[in-house]
């Protein structure tokens, strides 16, 4: 099956492009009308390839239509949209009775650090990695706050000593929680403070944002992860470009990352980068952070939360769309 999103100024232009490239056998999966642009996702089915009837027996196109509409809204790269649709259509599981949340559960992985019941899951040593401005320090403070409220006393270390005001910001948060902050400037000091840290204590490490194109900065993170003997968790803000995060997935996988924390979930309407990281990177969603305040707690990553995020600004009934049958009829001339 070929899957492609066509963008044009008008629906007529989009249909003409689809007809020109895919011919009369094209199937319209979704439409999305923006302010100055119309997006139409179309599929060209090959024989013995995609069988829509296997996906939803009673309403063959409705499920894929909604799914593609959501992926398109969140600007998920087309190549990943195609793989997701293919994955669902070729699944051996009976998907006809599953809701959207259930579908997400079959596709993506979820492994929260703190689950929805407030239970803290191992490991006890976590280092947050991610680009500059990802919200790592705030997330460290929120995690520390969760541990304190549960009766623990985490040991908080920051290696982000070069950025102006970084230590001050985290110190303010730690003071509010009632915990000391342990700033270190290099690997030697990091090893020393780890050796001096209490035994059987949760250790949280804030790392500086790095330039992924500088080998020395990547090597520094490699040494941090190696010394920690714990887990590195990728932290990045919602709204990041999907292709941008895709470029860095190999880097973070090489650093041993298996889970991600999404920050600033309240500041964007599109979560294409998150879908890309979860699917292409094969990462598990750990937590979601919305709001810079310590009082705005971390939500446990699960299929229910992801479904809420993806559907939050995507009410298919509210978005003007077009009658598929009429469109297909026009497409086929």
From residue 315, give the alpha-carbon distance in Å to each of 37, 256, 308.
19, 37, 11
* Residue 50 pLDDT: 40
Rounded to two decimals, the pTM is 0.76
pLDDT at 101: 86
Res 317: pLDDT: 47
Phi-psi region of 232 (alpha: psi -120 to 50; beta: other; left: phi over 0): beta
Stretch among 15-19, 51-55, 130-134 having the lowest mean pLDDT? 51-55
What does pLDDT average to over the chain?
Answer: 81
* Closest listed residue to residue 262, CA positions, set 296, 239, 231: 239
Residue 205's CB is within 10 A of a number of other CB atoms, namely 28
Listed in sequence order, the residues at least 6 apart from 20 whose beta carbon sits closer than 8 Å to its beta carbon are none
User: Any idea of the CA torsion for 178, 184, 189, 193, to the nearest 10 degrees?
Assistant: 10
Q: Flag whether pLDDT at 43 surpasses 60.
A: yes
The pLDDT, as a whole number, for residue 279 is 93
pLDDT at 48: 45
Q: ω into residue 279 within 30 of 0, thus cis?
A: no
Average pLDDT score over residue span 323-327: 47
Could you tell me the pLDDT band of residue 45, with boundaries at 50, 70 and 90? low
| pLDDT of 327 over the 70 cut | no
Query: What pLDDT, on a 0 to 100 scale, did the predictor assign at position 93?
Result: 56
Burial track 246-269 (b if 16+ CB lie within 10 A, e otherwise): bebbebbeebbbbbbbbbbbeebe
With vertex at residue 10, the alpha carbon angle to CA 60 and CA 311, rounded to the nearest 5 degrees, is: 45
Res 293 pLDDT > 80: no
The average pLDDT across 72-95 equals: 75
Residue 63 — very low, low, confident or very high, per pLDDT cuts 50/70/90? Answer: low
Q: Is the pLDDT of residue 231 over 80?
A: yes
Percentage of the chain lying above the pLDDT 90 cut: 37
The whole-number pLDDT of residue 20 equals 82
The confidence score (pLDDT) of residue 165 equals: 67
Asked if 275 contacts 80 with a C-beta cutoff of 8 angstroms, the reply is: yes
Average pLDDT of the residues in 204-215: 89
CA separation for the pair 302, 101 (Å, rounded): 9
Residue 86 pLDDT: 74
Share of the chain above pLDDT 70, in %: 81
Is residue 204 within 8 A of residue 235, CB to CB? The reply is no
Among 156, 133, 280, 154, CA closest to 206: 156
Mean pLDDT, residues 43-61? 46
Please write the tens of the pLDDT for every residue from 242-285. 998 998 899 999 999 999 999 999 888 889 999 999 999 999 99
Mean pLDDT of the region 210-218: 87
Assess whether pLDDT exceeds 50 at residue 59: no
Confidence of residue 199 (pLDDT cuts 50, 70, 90): confident
Tens digits of residue pLDDT in 132-177: 888 899 999 999 998 888 888 999 999 987 666 667 888 888 898 8
């Amino acid at each position: 099956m070929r899957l492609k999103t066509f963008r044009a100024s008008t629906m007529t232009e989009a249909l003409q492009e689809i007809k020109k490239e895919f011919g009369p056998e094209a199937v319209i999966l979704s439409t999305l009308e923006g302010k100055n642009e119309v997006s139409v996702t179309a599929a060209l089915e090959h024989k013995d390839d995609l069988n829509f009837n296997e996906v939803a027996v009673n309403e063959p196109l409705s499920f894929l239509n909604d799914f593609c509409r959501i992926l398109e809204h969140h600007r998920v790269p087309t190549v990943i949209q195609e793989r997701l649709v293919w994955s669902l259509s070729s699944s051996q599981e009976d998907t006809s009775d599953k809701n959207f949340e259930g579908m997400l559960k079959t596709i993506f992985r979820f492994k929260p650090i703190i689950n929805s019941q407030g239970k803290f899951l191992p490991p006890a040593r976590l280092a947050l990695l991610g680009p500059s401005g990802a919200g790592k320090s705030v997330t460290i403070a929120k995690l520390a706050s969760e541990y304190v409220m549960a009766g623990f006393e985490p040991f908080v270390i920051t290696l982000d000593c070069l950025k102006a005001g970084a230590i001050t910001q985290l110190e303010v948060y730690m003071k509010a929680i009632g915990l000391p902050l342990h700033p270190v400037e290099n690997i030697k000091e990091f090893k020393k403070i780890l050796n001096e840290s209490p035994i059987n204590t949760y250790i949280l490490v804030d790392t500086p944002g790095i330039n992924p194109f500088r080998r020395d900065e990547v090597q520094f993170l490699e040494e941090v992860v190696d010394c920690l003997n714990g887990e590195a968790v990728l932290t990045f803000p919602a709204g990041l470009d999907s292709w941008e995060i895709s470029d860095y997935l190999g880097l973070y996988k090489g650093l041993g990352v298996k889970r991600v924390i999404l920050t600033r979930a309240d500041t964007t309407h599109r979560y294409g980068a998150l879908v890309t990281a979860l699917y292409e990177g094969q990462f598990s969603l750990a937590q979601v952070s919305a709001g810079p305040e310590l009082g705005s707690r971390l939500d446990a990553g699960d299929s229910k939360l992801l479904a809420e995020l993806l559907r939050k600004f995507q009410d298919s009934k509210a978005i003007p769309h077009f009658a598929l049958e009429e469109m297909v009829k026009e497409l086929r001339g």
